[in-house]
Amino acid sequence: MKIILGSWIHRYWKKLGIFLITVVLVMGLASCEGSCGALPVQYDLTSSSTEGGQVIIPGEGTYADGTIVTLEAMPDECYEFVNWTGADVADPYSPITTITMDEAKSITANFALLSYDLTADSTDGGAVTSPGEDTFTYDCGMVVALVATPDAYYGFVEWTGNVDTIADVYDDSTTITMNGDYSITANFSLFAGGNGTAEYPYQIADWWHLDNVRNYLSSHFIVINDLDLNSVGYTELASATANEGKGWQPIGSTAVNDAFVGSFDGQGYEICDLFIDRPDEPDVGLFGVVEELGVIENVGVVNGNVTGNGDAGSLVGKNEGTVSNSYSTG
């Protein structure tokens, strides 16, 4: 009887132990459900862009639920960022913004081509004939043809204003690249060309140009062809009928700031048939008065007829400057 009872007790405790172990395992598994070893929920973010830029941060990827992702769109040259479309973002009109990943999302960065205004005008003596004189709108980066056309007896000088992208500011037919809003002016003068500097001297091609020297006494000049009685402006300026029979009016005088102090290079050309009849006036010649800084060179005054009182000469009446490689006959 003792043997039977002992065997029963042993079996009882063994079964009870197995039962308790099973209960513990089941309860442990139940407590881990939904947390022990489970992966967090993740969502895909896809991105794209229209022509003119790209999404540089973060591109595409997979993110845990609730992650706040920073987005950045970068426009190409000549384009601007417009907005984000697709999924909601914190600020759809800012190129740098954020998006909250609470589901799978797709976004697009939108870009637009920039455009700029070109305003063109001119000084007296000519016009901008291409594209005209007005305000015109062009796509960014477009190369626009510029043409400046001088009036009779005038010459183109240069383009001024926003000229950084003009191919050649001293060319009357050139181009401008539209990288911004620009305002430009075509400048003309009563010369064949040049701007009066030592590098780009005013160009003299007729008597009107020569007469205009008196208005720029400290500038630089070159003669680009012979002048004679057949040249434009001779009758009005240098003939026996010009200026009520007095003929040519000399350039420069002894008045304050009225002497020639620039440079005049004839480049080997001749000024012919000059007529001056001013018997009561001093300092008579093609140039009336040349002061110390004035330079006249490489020019001939041929077949001149000059009359004056006191200092007079076909080329210079009163000279305190430098005259070289020049001559006169008449």
- Taking only the tens of pLDDT, the chain with its 330 residues reads 444 444 544 555 355 445 444 433 344 444 444 445 567 899 999 999 999 999 998 868 999 999 999 999 999 999 999 999 999 999 999 999 999 999 999 999 999 999 999 999 999 999 999 999 999 999 999 999 999 999 999 999 999 999 999 999 999 999 999 999 999 999 999 999 999 999 999 999 999 999 999 999 999 999 999 999 999 999 999 999 999 999 999 999 999 999 999 999 999 999 999 999 999 999 999 999 999 999 999 999 999 999 999 899 999 999 999 999 999 997
Could you tell me if residue 22 is inside a domain? Answer: no
Q: Do 185 and 227 have their domain in common?
A: no
Tokens read off for 63 = 């993110």
Given 80, 113, 146, the domain boundary residue is 113
Taking Cα atoms as reference points, which of 84, 139, 142, 86 lies closest to residue 116? Answer: 139
Tokens read off for 283 = 């300092």
Q: Do 273 and 316 have their domain in common?
A: yes
Could you tell me if residue 30 is inside a domain? Answer: no
Q: Do 257 and 313 have their domain in common?
A: yes
H or E element: which one contains 12? helix 2-32
Given 92, 113, 134, the domain boundary residue is 113
Q: Do 91 and 130 have their domain in common?
A: no
Q: Do 100 and 166 have their domain in common?
A: no
Q: Do 75 and 85 have their domain in common?
A: yes
Angle at 249 between CA 222 and CA 304, to 5 degrees: 75
Instruction: Please tell me the number of Cα atoms within 13 Å of 302 on its side-chain side.
Output: 12
Could you give the CA distance from residue 181 to residue 115 in angstroms, rounded to a whole number?
Answer: 9
Could you tell me if residue 214 is inside a domain? Answer: yes
Residue range of the domain that includes 143:
115-189
- Phi/psi of residue 247, nearest 5 degrees: 70, -150
Given 53, 78, 113, the domain boundary residue is 113
64 C-beta neighbours (distance < 10 Å), count: 11
Could you tell me if residue 1 is inside a domain? Answer: no
Could you tell me if residue 234 is inside a domain? Answer: yes
Q: Do 141 and 177 have their domain in common?
A: yes
Domain count, the chain: 3
- Phi/psi of residue 153, nearest 5 degrees: 75, -5
Could you give the CA distance from residue 127 to residue 187 in angstroms, rounded to a whole number?
Answer: 9
Task: Give the chain's length.
Answer: 330
